Every structure is written in C-alpha cells, then in structure tokens.
A and B are shown apart, each in its own frame.
Chain A
Amino acid sequence: MATSMTETAGSPRAAAGGESELLLEVENLNVEFRTRDGVINAVNGISYDLRSGETLAILGESGSGKSVSAQAIMGILDSPPAFVTDGSIRFRGEDLLQMPEDQRRKVRGRRIAMIFQDALSALNPVFTVGDQIGEMFRVHQGASKKEGYDKAVELMDRVRIPTARQRVKDYPHQFSGGMRQRVMIAMALSLEPDIIIADEPTTALDVTVQAQIMELLSNLQDELDMGLILITHDLGVVADVADRIAVMYAGKIVETAPVLDIYGAPAHPYTEGLIKSIPRVDLKGQKLVTISGQPPSLGNIPEGCPFHPRCHRRRDDVCIPNEPPLYDVTPGRKSACHFWEEVLNDHNQ
C-alpha cells in the first residue's frame, strides 16, 4: 500500500508539449503538528510532480492539508509545532528537505515563490509597495534603492497596475483588493522563479476580479514557462486554468487526474460530491446538493478509507478495514477508492 502511494502521478497534457521540464517531485510527504492535545496528522503521504508550464490545482476543503503541504515545500512551516516526518521534496532533482537552511533560503523567492491569500495582510503596512517589490532585488541581487524602484515600476506595469510610475510610492492600504493581489504577484514574479505556489490567491476577492487575477496569472505563466501550483477550494477557479487536479481529503490525495477528465467523470465519491455541490444555473430553485457530515479531525482520522463515514457508496466490510491505495484508473489518473470503477461508470453512462 505504501509503495503505491509514493508513486507519482504523470502529467500527459504537459508532457505533450515535448520540452517541458520536470521541476518538482513531492514524494510521500508527511507533516504532523505536535500540539499539547496530541499529534495532528495534517499531511499523510502525498506525492505529486510538477513540470514547467504546467498548472497543478490542489483542491480541498479547509483543513485538508493543502496549505500545509505548500508551506512544507516553501520551508516556512512553524516548527515547532509542525514537523515534516517523512518524504522528500525534490526541486530539479535536489531534495529541499536535506538542504542546509542558508542554501534553501536562496531557493525561496528566487526559484520557488509564493502568493498568499490575503494580500493586505501579506504586505508590510509600513513600507510603500515599490519599496517592498524593490526589496526583492536589493536582497537577492544587491541592487541599489533606485534600481529597486525602477524594477518595481517595470513589474507593476507587467502585472498591469495602471499608472505604475505614480503608484509605486503608495502604501498597501491605498490599493484596492485586486490591485494589492497584483502587487503580491509582482513580488513573487520579480526574480522570475521556476515555480509559483499560489495559496488561494483569489479567495479574498470578488468574482470579476478573481477572473482577472487568474487570467493574469495564467498569462504570466505562459510567458515565463513557470510551473504553477494553485491551491484552492473553488472548483470554478480551477476549471479554466488548471492542467491537472489533485483532490485532497484528510491530508491525502484521493484523486488526481487531468482537469477535463475529472469534470467529465469523477472517479472518487468525494470528487463526485464536490462537483455535485457546485450551484448550477439550470438547477435553480432546487435544493443544493451537499456532502453530508463534517471533514474528519486531523487528530483523529477514521480507520480504513478516511472518507467512509461520509460516503454514500461505502460498504462497511470493505471500506472500514481497508485503506484504499491510489488505484491507477487510466494513465495519469489515480483514485483512492475501492469502487472507482463503479463511480466512473455511473458518470460515463
């Protein structure tokens, strides 16, 4: 079982481009929080990889471990209480977890950058945005203050902030939510990293702005041929921009597949539930479908299949004693459900 979980999922769509490069391989990553009330298993053996030019969406509810796994990749987990207990994170073949801290810091920002959910709190309130974007160049490239400002203006233009030259000396609170997120993106982009991890980049924004930001991100990704890991709980955001989706539940990846396959026919009851619970215009007036029950407490994950208490397809004799491995559904597609064929067939009919 353990071996099948450590297998990494392929990515047929990105590979079809021919020249994409394998950037990141996460293998059997385990993260736990050691708290006074016991151990919380936030991430339990997840594996995936990311190629240049590819967008991987990591989808899951609050508390499914998606943000924690991203922070583990960045190396910004608060330790203690969080500890990476097993696994490897290889960036261009080198294991980040084995790297000494000063070397790892050079990867952060320069090679792998991160965009945070709430740009207002992620920007330092006491410095101008130009100062903060310019800081990237001052820290990493030893640029002067003046050069930093010039680069900041350039970047703000690039993320399409109007009248960048005037606004570079404004403070974060003087920007609107969407503009602030653009500033965050500019900072993340500044050193042209290979990978950008966006942790719910549009959750704090309204819908029209969400679309603009996602479009900006995916345009920039194409220009720079970056790998993008998009962490979100919003299926609507994912559909347009992602190449591949990994669905997380209780710290595990329960299904991973190319984005179109998942929308066409999910192969895991949890994914099925997520898709069914998207509000639809053609079903207006009917009761919204939900997944019954609560996500499990990560300190007390159910035995066997972690999803079984909420699953309408469960068979107690199979699902409670046996934790499902990641079954190969098709090449590049996996599902952690004993009855994935049943789920898939229901939707293919």
Chain B
Amino acid sequence: MSETRQETEETQRSQDGATGAHLTRGTGAEPPPGSTPATTRGAPGQGEQPGKGRSLTADAWRELRRNPLFIIPMLAILLMVVVAAFPQLFTGKDPRNCDLITSRQPPSAEHWFGVDLQGCDYYTTVLYGARPSITIGIVTTASAALIAVFLGTLAGYFGGWFDIILSRISDIFFGLPFILGALVILTVLDNRGIGTVSLVLILLGWPTMTRLMRSSVLGNRDADYVNAARALGASDGRIMLRHVLPNAITPVLVYATVTVGIIISAEAVLSFLGVGLELPNISWGLQINVAQSYFLDSPHLLFFPAILLSITVLSFIALGDAVRDAFDPKLR
C-alpha cells in the first residue's frame, strides 16, 4: 500500500514538472485510476528521489554534467588551477636553478620542453608561469564581479541619481579600449607585480559587468514576485538579497567565466608588450615576449607557453558558453 502511494505521488510530480502543469489535480483527490504509474515511469525526471526539488540550478547542473563541452574545459581548468597552486607536484626541478650553458636547448628526454634563454628547464618554468596568469585571471574577475554585483544591484533597484552617475562613469570607461587603457595606466607605474596588474585590470573591467548586472536587475525589479514580497511586508534589503539578486545574477556569473579567459589573455598581451609583469616574475606573457627574438632558431620557446595559454583561455571561454547554454531554458 505504502509503495503504491509513493508511486502515485511520484507520478503526480513528474506530470507536473513535465507538462508545465496547467491543470490542477483537484482538491486532494487521488489521480484517476486510469493513470497507471507504469506509463509515466519513463518520463524525464523520474530518476529523482521523491521530495527532491528541481531548481533552475539543479536543472542546469544536470544538463552540464552530461555535456562534454562542459566537462573537458572543466577538467582542463581544474588541472591548470592545481598546477598554479602546486607546481612542485608536477616537476622536481627548481625554476630558479639554471645553467646558462644549456641555454635554448631544444626539447629532450631530460628537458621535456627544452631549455630557456637563461638555461632554466622550460617545462618547470612554463608550469610555474601558470600561477600569475591564473591568479590574475581569477582575482581580477572575482573582484570586478563583486563590485559589479554590489553596484549594479543598487543602481538597478533604486535607480535615480545613483544610477545616472554610475552609468555615466561606466560610459567613460567604455570609451577607453581595454588594452589601450591598461597600457596607458601601466606605463606610468613602477614595480608591476601581480597585485598592480590585477588592480588595473579590475579598474577597467568592472563597468561592463556592472552594466550587465544593472540591466539584469532592472528586468527583475518589477517582477510580480518582487511586488508580492513587498505586499507581504519584506524590506528593500531583503527584497534585493532574496528575490532580485538570485534571479538576476546568472548572466553575470556566466559572463564572469568568459571574462577569466579574457583577462588571462590580456595579462599575457600586456606582459608581451612589456607593460605587464616584469622580470624576474615568471609568466607566459613574459616567456612569449622573450621568445619573439629567437622564434626562428628556437621555436619551442614560443610554442609551449603559447599552447598552454591558448588552452587555458579557450577552456574558460568554452566553459562560459556551456554554462550560458545550460542556464538559458530557450536553448534546451
């Protein structure tokens, strides 16, 4: 008895979920005897345990879990993050312990990626180069996203003079091309390390995301559930945190994923141009910068950091795409 009851409940649930449920099941009536559980067993979502809800996030996760375009970039990124955090796990050599005699040796059994200009093992230095790139990418994006979510929510929700001023300020930043802006600012700064470069990129990166957050909040601010929450006595702060933010944040999160890739490549471009990180920092951009003079003689100097940079950037962008598709119900 209890088992059949369980089944009917499950049937009801999957019917509701599957059809968008425009018909009610009546006031507490059991489903009609004709609706045998067997017919709906194969319906999507039947694998769910009873009582377990399906939020948009859960749906998106279920979608992502099976998507190779999500899994492959995700694994690549995880690997890169581990390399960035613990490069010594992957190489026994010290990137600073170099022998000038071996300068620019091509790849061999001893030096998998060859040797760089200073005679350091290139495999080791390229792995150590992941740390600044990944750190700058993630720190910059996370900070810019935080600023964007905070300012964008306030501007979108309250509007008024705050919104006007914020929008004009971000207009100014939009008028400034990203790389050019960073170039101009970084040129006048000395001792450029990870912190300085990150700060400049945050400064130039927040307006786009703030705009995105603001328009997303605007789209949710007048939703019925916001009015309903207000009618049931919720305060502005609570409405923003509980009702507007969770519904408005998805586009920003998706965009942020892509932005990590863009920032990493921006850092490489800036370092290549000589205004990003400075020696003795180790970074892919710096390595590519050094490699340009020796490209014809020692192509491996360009090849290895460039390949890793491309894979990392591409992974973040592909991941962002997959996440966006999963969160957009229209593409299902």
Residues of chain A at the chain B interface (Cβ within 8 Å): 74, 76, 78, 105-110, 113-114, 116, 118, 121-128, 135-136, 139-140, 160-163, 166-167, 169-171, 173-179, 184, 187-188, 205-206, 209, 212, 216
Contact = CB atoms under 8 A, between A and B. Distances in A.
B9 A166 contact: yes
A122 B228 contact: yes
B119 to A, nearest CB: 56
A178 to B, nearest CB: 3
A206 B231 contact: no
A109 B24 contact: no
A105 to B, nearest CB: 5
B175 interface: no
B66 to A, nearest CB: 21
Interface in B25-64: 25-29, 50-57
B90 interface: no
Interface string B225-246: 1011111111100100011001
A106 B23 contact: no
Contacts of A177: 21-24
A68 B81 CA distance: 55
Given A106-B233, A114-B232, A123-B228, A171 B54 contact: yes
Contacts of A110: 233
Interface in B202-246: 222-225, 227-235, 238, 242-243, 246
B17 interface: yes
A161 B25 CA distance: 10
A212 B24 CA distance: 10
Contacts of A105: 233, 235
B25 A139 contact: no
B16 interface: yes
B192 interface: no
A139 B237 CA distance: 12
Contact of B233 (A78, A108, A127, A206): A108
B27 A121 contact: no
Nearest to B233: A109
7 contacts: A78-B222, A116-B227, A166-B9, A169-B53, A176-B16, A179-B25, A205-B24
A125 B243 CA distance: 9
Contact of B224 (A118, A136, A167, A212): A118
Nearest to A135: B242
Contacts, number: 124
Interface residues of B, number: 41
Given A109-B233, A122-B227, A162 B53 contact: no
A283 to B, nearest CB: 30
Given A122-B227, A216-B27, 18 more contacts: A76-B227, A78-B222, A109-B231, A109-B234, A121-B223, A135-B234, A160-B27, A163-B9, A169-B51, A175-B16, A175-B21, A177-B24, A178-B26, A179-B25, A184-B228, A187-B228, A209-B24, A212-B27
Contact of A124 (B12, B23, B242): B242
B7 to A, nearest CB: 12
Contacts of B55: 126-128, 171
A45 B22 CA distance: 39
B20 interface: yes
Contacts of A174: 13, 16-17, 21, 53-54
A169 B232 contact: no
B27 A108 contact: no
A206 B23 contact: yes
Contacts of B53: 128, 169-171, 174
A161 B16 CA distance: 14
B232 A113 contact: yes
Contact of B225 (A122, A166, A175, A176): A122
Nearest to B8: A163
B218 to A, nearest CB: 13
B247 interface: yes
Contacts of B13: 167, 170, 174
Given A125-B56, A160-B27, A174-B16, A108 B231 contact: yes
Interface string B73-96: 000000000000000000000000
A163 B50 CA distance: 11
A165 to B, nearest CB: 8
Contacts of A128: 53, 55
B47 to A, nearest CB: 15
Contact of B231 (A76, A123, A162, A167): A76
Contacts of B229: 124
A108 B224 contact: no
Q: Which of B52, B222, B228 has the most CB of A within 10 A?
A: B228
A116 B24 contact: no
Contacts of B56: 125-126
A126 B247 contact: yes
